[in-house]
Structure 1
């Protein structure tokens, strides 16, 4: 099996990028340290630590180790070499992050974090090896060949990341991709003292007087937001009943992820607050439409998916942030969800655009390739 055909490859790359983001956030205040950048290696382990920090640093690198092992073993490498490369690569990434944290006054380099990250990478590789020895990867390959076409790694990675993006607060349920307000504010900040500030300022003004989206617009966003992953799944699966199962699974997974996100932000007692008559009607409509498309050729579903995603991000980009949504973002960015902030935020922002690129690639290819 070629390395690029394994979904573990893009997932490992995405997970490594998110580790970099979480380790160096907020990327401000870079200064040259007054001591050697490797000084933290010779210090005794810190006296003050919490059990949560220990578990987070250990478990945080386990998925990376497991994904790297899976990518290596699927490329044809031996068991021992795959384990060593996965463990060493995870340790090297952790060492690079701890070293760079010397230049950030808001972050503290720690040899204990490095040791736990290295142990997590090795443990993740060991878990991957155990799954491989027990035949888990072989069974997954059989299932994948029955359900999906060849060269489906990118699509599978998108489907796995979609519920992660739903965990970050969205202005409308299932409405991923609202990156323009943050991009607009960042551009305005960068250009405020430049010669083009006056010329470009009108384009960067926020629509502070815009009311919330109408029920019709909210209906459309929710429906399109559910249709998008279903159509991505259709481009890598055989027409027929398997697509119907995938669509039903997307409904269940999306419902669970959105409910969990609401519970994390507003408390378990409000977990189903997002379930309004408008959103439920939109979910039923979206499921009906994608079931009707279950026998559509793959290139046609990719074309429909492009239209669906384009329409969704266009409407979501116009959605203002109400008071409750602003409070949700502050809870994630400044409060107890800061450790998950980078993961869900970036996936939620970029997923629709990555899916657009994927669908464009599918359209450019022949409608062939059987499971």
Structure 2
């Protein structure tokens, strides 16, 4: 009897990742999202537009420093534009790299910052500044340098890149950027936990200022009755559960079979709770870090967890449709439920101070996230269905 060859039980080593041959869709989507945040933060609150008789380039006509400025403002301007430069280099890779990518990132930073400052001359609540322009441009150039030094390690030979290919569908890039923004959307104070998209009060204020008359769009939809405590808690429970389930199902419908689905969903939800607590402690006071943990929020969180556990391995089509349904239901209820008087009183004591621009961008993100998520989930289904495991 011929000898049997010994079986090699060692795991076959995975081949190294091949160098990238095209730019990453994730970095392009992240760059676009960050650019929108910069625009919103720079032009917030978008009111009072008029020509003040000043040249749009007045901030470049003098070399003197602004009369009122602080080191905090300068550092914030530098840090705020670093991600823009880094993402620009990542989005250009591998077609353009090295010194040319750095130069393009620096030029883009100067162009974006100059445009923001020029348009601010038409906003009476904003003041264009040469210091802002220079510090923003420096921040973008630093970000470009960071991008040049890290792009190959992150986009060519990164373990994260391997996990991206193994765990997520090929066309999940835009969805991953959207889901990464969901915990950050919790920063701006909301009436309810995961109660994103409360846009009717904002639209009512804008229309009231435009038409010079009192307009309440939410009042046109909801009945003119006062909710009892139990009814208010029920609304809060539904809103919390819908927001949590909608975001969780959006993540689940992007995953391949080998992905640790429960772990990833739990990590995303834990990140949202952590960001919510830290933001509340920073914006108000440390003792109020978890003041948003109400009976309604607790009930909605429990219901959301049960629903996600039961739908973890549901077909992707079902997950996508249920995600759209829960997000739309949450939008309807959040925009028709009266504001909590305690929450309104709390907001009146909130001094935004130096974080005015940042809070404007955070509000913009919290308002638009569910609408963008619904639009993304309505994309052609072949972009959302996870590929079969080879």
TM-score with structure 2 length normalisation?
0.84
CA contact 1:265–1:328 (8 Å) conserved in 2: no
CA contact 1:247–1:287 (8 Å) conserved in 2: no
Structure 1: state its 5+ residue gaps. none
* Per-residue CA distance 1:304-332 (angstroms, 9 max, x = gap): 11111111111111222233322454566
CA contact 1:224–1:312 (8 Å) conserved in 2: yes
CA positional deviation for 1:51: 1.2
CA positional deviation for 1:46: 2.8
TM-score with structure 1 length normalisation?
0.88
Q: Is it true that 1:185 corresponds to 2:200 in the alignment?
A: no
CA positional deviation for 1:57: 0.9
2:42 aligned partner: 23
- Structure 2 counterpart of 1:348, from 355, 366, 370: 366
* Greater shift in the superposed pair: 5-14 or 116-125: 5-14
CA positional deviation for 1:248: 0.8
1:173 aligned partner: 193
Secondary structure of the residue aligned to 1:361 is coil
CA contact 1:171–1:321 (8 Å) conserved in 2: yes
CA RMSD across the alignment: 2.8
1:14 aligned partner: 33
Q: Is it true that 1:360 corresponds to 2:378 in the alignment?
A: yes
Query: Within 1, Cα distance between the matches of 2:220 and 2:374?
Result: 25
* Per-residue CA distance 1:275-294 (angstroms, 9 max, x = gap): 23442343233223212222
Length, aligned pairs only: 364
1:124 aligned partner: 143
- Structure 1 counterpart of 2:78, from 45, 50, 58: 58
2:279 aligned partner: 261
Q: Please list, as runs of the form range in 1=range in 2, the aligned pairs for 1:1-371 lying within 5 A after superposition.
A: 2-3=22-23, 6-43=25-62, 44-46=64-66, 48-73=68-93, 76-133=95-152, 135-138=153-156, 139=158, 140-191=160-211, 204=220, 210-211=226-227, 214-239=232-257, 242-330=260-348, 335-363=353-381, 367=385, 369-370=387-388
Secondary structure of the residue aligned to 2:338 is coil
CA positional deviation for 1:169: 1.1
Secondary structure of the residue aligned to 1:103 is coil
* Per-residue CA distance 1:86-137 (angstroms, 9 max, x = gap): 221111010111112222233222111111111000111111222224x123
Query: Within 2, Cα distance between the matches of 1:77 and 1:157?
Result: 23
Structure 2: state its 5+ residue gaps. 1-20
Query: Within 1, Cα distance between the matches of 2:106 and 2:349?
Result: 34
* Greater shift in the superposed pair: 88-97 or 320-329: 320-329
* Greater shift in the superposed pair: 269-278 or 330-339: 330-339
Question: Which structure shows the higher helix fraction?
Answer: 1
Secondary structure of the residue aligned to 1:274 is coil
Structure 1 ranges of 4+ moved more than 6 A: 200-203, 205-208
Secondary structure of the residue aligned to 1:166 is coil
CA positional deviation for 1:244: 0.9
Query: Within 2, Cα distance between the matches of 1:137 and 1:201?
Result: 47
Secondary structure of the residue aligned to 1:177 is coil
